[in-house]
Amino acid sequence: MLAQIRSARSRKGFTLIELLVVIAIIAILIGLLLPAVQKIREAANRMKCTNNLKQLGLAAHNYNDTNNILPSSRSACVWTGTGYQAGGNVLTALLPYIEQDNLYRLATVISGQYQSWEMPVPGTPSGTMRTQTVKTFQCPSDPSMSNGFSAYQINAWAGSSYGFNTLVVGTTPVVENTGWTSVNSQYTVATIPDGTSNTVLAGEKYAACNGGGNLWAWPGGGIQGWSGNDWGPTIVNPPAGVLTSPITHNSGNWNQPPLTGVSNWNSGNCDRYRPTSMHSVCNCLLADGSVRGVSRAVSQATWLMAVTPNDGAVLGSDW
């Protein structure tokens, strides 16, 4: 009788082999499910990145309706007669239109200082505007950004995963009364020659990319391109003759299609002169406010037509 009880009790447990088999089955299931989970996460991230661009597009349209002009690639500091009004860039100008009006107010009217990025902002790592991270400027699929900062600029300058098209927002240099140069847009939404649905206004761009980066608060540093010193208010470098000295910057593959599926932001595969995305396509904001994914397979000719607002060309069939 005692032997039967012991035998019954022993059959209630698992043998080591059975336990290992169960663990192996669980591991296989996890391995099968992990890619699906990653795809779902990436789809959600891409949707967030797309929504950010849509918000920036709506903000640009609201700015245009208020000021009768598209925001400037770079607005320099001006003297108002009683004090300095700080300069900024496209993203600075759009702050009031993405529910960041308080931050904008802190950075627009100053006395004894020239630029907005040094304005005091309590609660930021250095106490200045340049370290204020803004969610709308961050794409969760951007592998080069950590907690809102570029990998090259941790706790120094907040990063941006988006940049605007210089050929739309930065074609007209104007020397202000302080001697600083603004680089303004010559267009309103209604006067873009090729039409809003045929013109790229902005696009995704890694906060850090092969030695350069996007710092959202910096107004350009005199160079309208993907340099390591500016947040990148462009998705293309202006070609020769677009801007006058000392603003002209013609280097890199400014007229080449976007890079997609770039996982290593700190390698030669990441070209800081081009729009860059982790997605299978690069999300681009058109001037009509819509967002579309552009494949890296789009031809250079078609891409150049899409970023040039006044060439009068019809976009290719690969658009």
Domain boundaries, the chain: 45-307
Largest Cα–Cα separation, the chain: 105
Instruction: Please indicate whether residue 180 or residue 243 has the higher confidence score (pLDDT).
Output: 180
Q: Which of 164, 167, 172, 170 is nearest to 193 (CA)?
A: 167
**φ, ψ at 2 (rounded to 5°):** -60, -40
Quote the pLDDT of residue 89. Answer: 79
Q: In the predicted model, what is the mean pLDDT of residues 150-155?
A: 74
Reported confidence tier of residue 170, pLDDT bands at 50, 70, 90: confident
Instruction: Please indicate whether residue 258 or residue 22 has the higher confidence score (pLDDT).
Output: 258
52 in Cβ contact with 137 (< 8 Å): yes
Mean pLDDT is lowest, of 26-35, 88-97, 291-300, for: 26-35
3-class SS of residue 308: coil
Quote the pLDDT of residue 118. Answer: 58
Quote the pLDDT of residue 214. Answer: 59
How far apart are alpha carbons 240 and 251 in whole angstroms? 10
Residue 94: HSE in the Cβ half-sphere, 13 Å Cα cutoff: 31
How far, in Å, are 83, 163, 283 from residue 296 at the CA level? 48, 17, 11
Quote the pLDDT of residue 230. Answer: 32
pLDDT tens, position by position, 244-296: 333 344 456 777 889 999 988 888 788 877 888 888 899 999 999 999 999 98
For the entire predicted model, the pTM comes to 0.78
How far apart are alpha carbons 186 and 154 in whole angstroms? 35
DSSP string, 229-250: TS----SSPPPTTSS-TTS---
